[in-house]
């Protein structure tokens, strides 16, 4: 497998491509000469694609529905003649809360998008990606290895995506297919602003982490990291880079951090605030990017 992957002329499908990291990644790929198709549940997806580039394709699709993604892939192949890369970017973040006070339907909805949606994306694109010795890019999160207190279902989903990426990397290597798993922390997107910043208890939970780990990336910075990883066929993209050490030493750091959080007064006080059933309201913040 070549260490350098020329993106010019390659066709890329991005789920959750209408905003945040998805839209920024589409722009970056277009600038590098790739053919880009974005898929999203929004009815505005075709119009948003045209705004990105007259040559971009926008497809309305729901990652929870395998048939919907099969149809999306078929449209991509009809338009561009092939599909080389699938980026599983669509994701949601539930209301920050303890698991005890998180409605079951919110958990089910999150897992349907963040796990089943990624599996559906991979399955729908599989034959094209294998035929073209292309790539899968899966957006996980630092929450794959960071304690998920206050957002356990989300952290669970990102750990599952990490395992999918690791497994696919091995299973598809003989077919000339590479798999990149992406780990970001906080990205300055609507998902984080709406799902975290508006909740004082959630912000308080984050404040218990070391400040260097709370630096936020712009979507454009995240997009460049993803595309550079694709160009190198990197198995992992981790940004900001300081999280690489945390990931490498997770077996030592994570248990120690877990123990500290069980007795840390600020953490426990924040959990008291989060451990209150919410008034009826929308429980999912839909995102076309991913992250923390």
Using CA atoms, how far residue 176 sits from 6, 107, 171, 172, in Å, is: 15, 36, 10, 7
pLDDT score of 95:
81
How far apart are the C-alpha atoms of 236 and 252, rounded to whole Å? 20
Cβ proximity of 140 and 180 under 8 Å? no
Catalytic annotation, residues? 154
Specify the pLDDT at position 286: 46
At 278, give phi and psi (nearest 5°). -80, 155
Domains of the chain: 11-287 (3.40.50.720)
Helical segments of the chain, H only: 20-31, 45-52, 66-80, 104-111, 117-131, 152-171, 190-192, 200-207, 219-231, 242-248, 250-263, 265-274
CA triple 111-21-136, angle to 5 deg: 65
* Segments of the chain with pLDDT less than 50: 281-292
Partners of 236 in beta bridges: 181
pLDDT value of position 204: 67
* Residue 193 contacts residue 252 (beta carbons within 8 Å): no
For 104, residues 6+ apart whose C-beta sits below 8 A from its C-beta are none
Cα-Cα-Cα-Cα dihedral sign, residues 278, 40, 138, 123: positive
């Amino acid at each position: 497998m070549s260490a350098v992957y020329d993106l010019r002329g390659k066709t890329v499908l991005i789920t959750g491509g209408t905003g945040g990291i998805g839209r920024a990644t589409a722009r970056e790929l277009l600038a590098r000469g790739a053919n880009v198709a974005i898929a999203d549940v929004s009815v505005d997806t075709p119009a948003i694609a045209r705004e990105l580039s007259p040559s971009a394709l926008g497809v309305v699709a729901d990652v929870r529905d395998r048939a919907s993604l099969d149809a999306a892939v078929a449209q991509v192949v009809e338009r561009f003649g092939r599909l080389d890369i699938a980026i599983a970017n669509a994701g949601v973040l539930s209301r920050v809360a303890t698991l005890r006070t998180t409605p079951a339907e919110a958990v089910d909805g999150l897992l349907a998008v963040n796990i089943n949606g990624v599996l559906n994306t991979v399955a729908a694109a599989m034959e094209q990606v294998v035929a073209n010795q292309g790539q899968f890019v899966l957006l996980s999160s630092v929450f794959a290895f960071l304690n998920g207190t206050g957002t356990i279902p989300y952290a669970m989903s990102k750990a599952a995506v990490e395992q999918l990426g690791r497994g696919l990397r091995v299973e598809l290597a003989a077919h000339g297919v590479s798999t990149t798993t992406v780990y970001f922390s906080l990205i300055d997107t609507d998902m984080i602003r709406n799902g975290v910043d508006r909740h004082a208890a959630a912000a308080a939970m984050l404040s218990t982490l070391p400040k260097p780990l709370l630096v936020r990336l712009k979507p454009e910075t995240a997009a460049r990291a993803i595309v550079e990883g694709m160009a190198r066929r990197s198995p992992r993209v981790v940004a900001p880079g300081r999280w690489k050490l945390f990931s490498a030493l997770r077996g030592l750091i994570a248990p120690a951090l877990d123990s500290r959080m069980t007795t840390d007064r600020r953490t426990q006080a924040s959990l008291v605030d989060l451990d209150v059933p919410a008034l009826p309201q929308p429980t999912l913040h839909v995102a076309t990017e991913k992250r923390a």
